Amino acid sequence: MTTRPPREATGSQRPLKGSIRVPSDKSLSHRVALFSALAQGRSRVRGLLDSLDVRSTLGAIEALGAQLDIKVEADGLCGTITGWGDAGPHGPKNALQCGNSGTTSRLLLGVLSGLDVTASLEGDESLSRRPMDRVIAPLTKMGARFYPSEAFSQEGAPAHTPEGAPASTLPLTVKGTSSLEAIAYQSPVASAQVKSAVLLAGLNARGTTSVTEPYKSRDHTELLLPAYGASLTVEGLTTSITGGQRLFATDCEVPADPSSAAFLLVAAALIPQSEVTVRDVLLNPTRVGFLTVLRRMGADIAIKINKNAHLGTEQVGEVTLRYREELEATTVEPYEVPALIDEVSILALAATVAKGTTIFKQVGELRVKESDRLNAIVCGLTALGCDVREEDDDLRVSCAPPHIRATRLATHGDHRLAMTWSIAARAFALALDIYGLESIEVSYPGFFDDLKRLS
């Protein structure tokens, strides 16, 4: 990984030009590592994202008994993962360290629920504030049990806790069981992490487990599990899996992360004379909603699908964005939000130069990200002199580009905010004092190096 960047971010409006491959997709890297650990046999993996979040998942599966032979190469983490398969994982000697990764913690809770193993999960200060009850609730209905970690005895049985004591945040302990019962779960939120946790538990449940969402969330789990031999059915907003299935090792090469690409592409949309191409990028429709929104705003975007590159049934290709003057405001409807939830901050920055008022409807999910990202977007853009406000769960951004040249901005330990404020400095020639730029290493360790390559 790269060294930590300087705290001060000073920008210039030199055009961004060139072709680049951003780091591999974080969501797929987590799943490739975890599914390979569950599988029978040895999977060859290439291009896993070398970031703190993915390393948390790798550390957890190794602590549970998967055998890793992984090396750092030019395109990411490469090597083999030998799964525990039919033997199952072993109880870890120490708590599983999830770091800042919500995906690591929530998907692990699903996996461990259906296995005869007891394990404790811990996270950093930020992750320990994020809600786990959204996965704990359905998994408890299936038969798993969850306890505050400090209330779990050395013998692996729940110690006395006050009546009704919640186990809704980390640290917590999960006591899995091989006797899970399938459920038909109506999820109140469109969340790929919730859906994946329940489906992974369903792999070891009696009967057929289904998850129905209010809107379609990311579908990486549904598209990747069949590559490991599992069978699922998808009907509209309902995904179902029948228990008792085994996973088998496979070979995986992870494409580039569209969420990381979004920051460079929006930078090109903001800086005159820019033209940026992102190669080998994941083009899953549930991940590229930000491209749809940018096109509505008037951005010049070309997409080319590579029919010879894929992971499971995921689409891969390249995206080129050329600068075009006079972006137009748009409205992002609630059903669109799951496909661009991680890009709202950078899209909000783009909206500051779009004629009219851009409205992001029902983005309250941002309140439970690595930070209260919704409030942080409003505070940060306001500090830059932009016209932005929060109305209930909606975000409204009117045309008023950043113009306060020097100010301090907080990232709240949130990598998406850190990249957004850095792009603001670059696109509008600002000298910003940004606290917490090191958080970028959670998902995009080479971010500043790639900006320089395109300058």
pLDDT means per 10 residues in the chain (455 residues)? Answer: 46 88 96 98 97 96 98 95 96 95 97 96 93 96 92 46 60 96 97 97 98 96 96 98 97 96 98 97 96 98 89 91 97 96 97 98 93 95 98 97 94 95 96 94 92 95
The first and second tokens of residue 254, run together, are: 């992870």
In this predicted structure, what is the pLDDT of residue 151?
52
Answer yes or no: are the C-beta atoms of 374 and 317 closer than 8 Å: no
In this predicted structure, what is the pLDDT of residue 11?
60
Among all chains, which residue has been given the structure tokens 């390249």? 318
In this predicted structure, what is the pLDDT of residue 164?
43
The pTM is what? Answer: 0.88
Question: Kind and range of the H or E element at 137?
Answer: helix 133-142
Q: What CA–CA distance (Å, rounded) separates 245 from 399?
A: 53
In this predicted structure, what is the pLDDT of residue 8?
53
Contacts of 155 (CB under 8 A, 6+ apart): none
Q: What CA–CA distance (Å, rounded) separates 62 from 125?
A: 23
Q: Which domains does the chain possess?
A: 8-24+255-454 (3.65.10.10), 26-241 (3.65.10.10)
Q: What CA–CA distance (Å, rounded) separates 390 from 401?
A: 18
Q: Is 342 a catalytic residue?
A: yes
How far apart, in Å, are the Cα atoms of 162 and each of 38, 93, 168? 35, 27, 14
How far apart, in Å, are the Cα atoms of 428 and each of 15, 34, 270, 446? 12, 41, 8, 22
In this predicted structure, what is the pLDDT of residue 153?
44
Q: What CA–CA distance (Å, rounded) separates 52 from 66?
A: 19
Q: What CA–CA distance (Å, rounded) separates 412 from 432?
A: 15
Distance of CA 338 to the CA centre of its chain: 11
Q: What CA–CA distance (Å, rounded) separates 392 from 383?
A: 20
Q: What CA–CA distance (Å, rounded) separates 316 from 430?
A: 35
SS3 191: coil
In this predicted structure, what is the pLDDT of residue 145?
96
First to last CA, the chain: 21
Rg (CA), the chain: 22
Catalytic residue among 219, 342, 414, 450: 342
Question: Which of 270, 272, 274 lies closest to 20 in space, CA to CA?
Answer: 274
